[in-house]
Structure formats: C-alpha cells, structure tokens
Amino acid sequence: MPATNAAPPLSEANILITGGTGSFGQRLLFTLLEQHQPRRVAIFSRDELKQYDLQQKLLDHPQADTVRFFLGDVRDRDRLVRAFDGVDYVVHAAALKQVPAAEYNPLEFIKTNIIGAANVVEAAIDRNVCRVVALSTDKAANPINLYGATKLCSDKLFVSAAAYSGRHATRFCVVRYGNVMGSRGSVIPLFLRQRETGRLTITDERMTRFWISLQQGVDFVLDNLLGMHGGEIFVPKIPSMRVMDLAAAIAPGCETVVTGIRPGEKLHEVMVTEDDARNTTELADRYVITASPEAAANYAHGTPCAPAFRYASDSNDRWLTGAEMLALAGLAEPTLAATPTP
C-alpha cells in the first residue's frame, strides 16, 4: 500500500535548497525566512567561500538560527542522503549552466546535471521527502546544445520519478522558465559593463528572449511546490523582449556591434514545443505539461492546448517595454547616453 506523506505548511517545514548559494538560492532563502519562517532551511552547495559569504549576510537576521549549511556535491549520493534526513521539501537549483563551458566540458555537465539529478531523486525517495521541485530552463525544450540536453534528461528523471518512487509518496515536479533578471548568467550584467565603453556586442539583431525577475521565479517555484500533484512541468506566462530593445533600454545611444550567433545559441526561446502541446493545459498564469492524459485530469479546470501550439519568445502576446524591464530588474533608468572610456 502506498505511503501517505503529508506535506506540512511552510511555516512548520524543513526545507533544503541544492545550489543554495547561487542567485536563485539566496533569494529563495531570504523569501522563506521573511515571508514563511520555516522550522529549518538547509543550504546545500559545494563552495565553502560562497557559504561563508552567505553566513555573513545572515549575521543580523532574526531567523539566522534556523539556517543550516551542508558542504556537498549533488554528484555524491551518500552526502545527499545524509543532508535529506528529516527534510520535507527540496528545491533542486544546483546545476552547471554556462552553454560554452558545456561544449568543452561535456562529461562534467553530465555528471552534475544528469547524474546529480538522479542522485537527488533517489535520495529524496529513500529519505521520504514530501515534495521536490527541480529548476529547468527553456534550453531543455528542443535542445541544440549540450547544456540543454542535460537539462532535458534531468527533466525526464524528475517527471518519471513519480512512477519510480513506488510505494513511497514523494512527489516531484519541474519548473521551466526563461532568462532571469539579476542572475549572474543573464546578458544584463554584460550590457551594464559594456555600457561604460559605449559599445555593446549583439550576437543577432533578430533575437528575442523570455524574461522573469528573480523574485517572480522564486514565487513561482514556491507556488508549484505547494500546488503540484506530481510529474508536471510548470511554465509561467511571462513577457518577451527583443535584444535590441533591451540594449536600447540599458545603454541608450551606445553603438551596437553584431558578432554573430554563437554555437549552441538559439535565435528565439521555446518553452512549450509542438510535440509537448498535446499534453499541455493552459491555466490563467501558466502552462502545465503533464506526463499522461490521466495526469491532465488534475487540471480539468484549464484549457487543453491545440496540437500545433508553441509557446515561444518570438510569437508571444506579451512584450516588455524598456521602462518595464528596468523596473523589474531594479535598474535606474539611464538619463544620458554612455560615452566610451578613453
């Protein structure tokens, strides 16, 4: 008989974040502490310096005594089993993410993004974790680079884990979204640096991207952590922006130089493909990709997507203006055109 593994409210929960010292992990931590006051939050990451820096940020925080730090790597299943002891919720944010680095170091990305994901699944099941949310990326939909391929494999592992868990009641889901404003991997910090030179590099003038703020991403993850049935991929409805409009908003008056699209880079982002559409339900603020028609019944209040539906950044019906992007990213609107440094 399957076990029942009741999920406690966040205020009573023990929560663990893999990759907890990254941009997303830190924002999630402070959101949990300030809005939900959980019983305990564990930060699991492999970088002792980043853990030390985060500890310093917490020195005067009233909830600092509820935070625990685990040094470890998702490649190490035994360490995950130890860290997951007594944990109710896991948010899996640990990953190697740089597209060019993946092309030159494929096995390292496979070990972290695929084998690491499998380790998270098995450790969560073995420790009877209630629920697990894994962060994905638009690059996992019809991947054309190794990073995207590893994240697609990761997504498949978490989606299939519902059946794999057997008599255990651990639930898994995936959250997939586009570029995050304020994250270290986005193009915005690059444009901010280049603004000082008066010259911005653009790989292709036609390029479009989905955008979401760091806080919006955190809120979306927490919402699906509590609302999942298990086995879903959740995709938020978020706006697109043209890269040329982004450049003009951040660095008005700067020269733009087209350098050519890079290996493994897409012209436009796709988060729901035509092949996924037949298993996708549209809700008011998100799309839900389910593993089967039976699972889709959990979202009967939504609208099934048409078979040829495609959710892509170039055909989106929501577009960011420059002012909206600056506000969401927490950037001051430039008042003068940048000038080149001598």
Give me the active site residues, please. Answer: 139
Bridge partners (DSSP) listed for residue 281: 288, 304
> What is the phi-psi region of residue 226: left when phi exceeds 0, alpha when psi lies from -120 to 50, beta otherwise?
alpha
* Buried-exposed string 233-251: b where 16+ CB fall within 10 A, e elsewhere: bbbbbbbbbbbbbbbbbbb
d(CA 242, CA 257) in angstroms, rounded, equals 16
Alpha carbon separation from 39 to 13, 131, 143 (Å, rounded): 5, 16, 39
Within a 10 A sphere around the Cβ of 209, how many other Cβ atoms? 21
Within a 10 A sphere around the Cβ of 324, how many other Cβ atoms? 14
> DSSP character for 117?
H
> DSSP character for 110?
I
d(CA 155, CA 153) in angstroms, rounded, equals 5
* Buried-exposed string 61-75: b where 16+ CB fall within 10 A, e elsewhere: eebeebbebbebbbe
Which residue type, as a one-letter code, is found at position 131?
A: R
List all residues 6 or more positions away from 137 whose beta carbon is below 8 Å from its beta carbon: 97, 147, 148, 151, 176, 177, 178
Alpha carbon separation from 269 to 140, 141, 190 (Å, rounded): 10, 9, 19
State the Cα torsion 64-65-66-71 to the nearest 10°: 90
Alpha carbon separation from 291 to 222, 227, 254 (Å, rounded): 21, 17, 47
